[in-house]
Structure 1
């Protein structure tokens, strides 16, 4: 078990297109455990392997933060309703080699954030529902219809596998404003 450093923009590794996982072994399970440790330590709700510098098609998601008072890391619903203030048991989920099938036409807007773009939040439109197919750590195949926060979160994390960050969905102006703000926050820190 180890907590890894999370890569932050403008680290070039975040632009990497991740490779499929082919070995479903103990090393993979250890990596997944480290990813959960890292995500919980950072009060995140989702983490892609590339965010700790490992270019594999692997995500972990848990919509329940460790700390009921923590600010949600990403994707609280538009209008600022926090889904995360009720302390509930953790629901860790692992997605290996995930693919999205038939995303809905209907889009929803969520205010997203990302551990690789700290302290920056912006509205992103994405399909509100999608079917996801993925493997678990043992290589078994799963398929599930996802909607709402889970659909948004998995799409956000899957973008990382293609080297895309949520700020890449913004207009050039909004994106440069977000990066300037991040710069300012870093200087202040």
Structure 2
């Protein structure tokens, strides 16, 4: 298990659509372990393979200590009409956050590390995390969900943080 370098905001790899995982082997499990170590070191509660420059559809979440969730090839198959607002940020843009509106509940289809197909219904913070990370797998960085004015302000704040 290794802490890998995180790809930072404006790196074009964060805008690329991640490729589906087709091989479920020890290398995939090692990548998931590295993602977990990297996320914990960042720190964060969610991370995708693209966050470390690997264009694969792999997500690791740890919303509660020692409750690790791993999703391979996740996709949203249902969303609620109800929306919620939640503060979001990214390990690829540390130090800045803003509120984003998302669906209050979702259902996702995904595979586990052995390739088994599963589904999961989620509400609240977990639903927000699924949408945030699946957006990243689709090349949509979270700040793209903000208005242009809010996005520009946030980028200026981030630039100031990086200059320190």
Normalising by structure 1, report the TM-score. Answer: 0.85
Look up the match of 1:24.
24
Counterpart selection for 1:131 from 107, 127, 137:
107
Q: Distance in 2 between matches of 1:91 and 1:102?
A: 24
Which secondary structure state, in structure 1, belongs to the residue aligned with residue 110 of structure 2?
strand
- Provide, for residues 95-126 of structure 1, a one-character-per-residue CA deviation record: whole Å limited to 9, x for no partner: 00001111000000001111111111111000
Deviations along 1:152-173, whole A, 9 cap, x unmatched?
A: 0011011111111110000111
How far does residue 129 in structure 1 lie from its aligned partner after superposition? 0.2
SS in 1 for 2:32: helix
Aligned 1:1-189 pairs, distance under 5 A? 1-64=1-64, 89-188=65-164
Bigger proportion of residues as helix: 2
Q: How many residues align?
A: 164
SS at match of 1:102: strand
Please give the secondary structure, in 2, of the residue aligned with 1:120: coil
3-state SS, counterpart of residue 110 of structure 1: strand
Secondary structure of 1:114's aligned partner: coil
What SS class does the counterpart of residue 94 from structure 2 fall into?
strand
Deviation at 1:94, TM superposition (A): 0.3
Runs of 5+ in structure 2 lacking a partner? none
- RMSD (Å) for aligned C-alpha atoms: 0.7
- Could you state the TM-score of these two structures normalised by the residue count of structure 2? 0.98
1:12, CA displacement in angstroms?
1.1
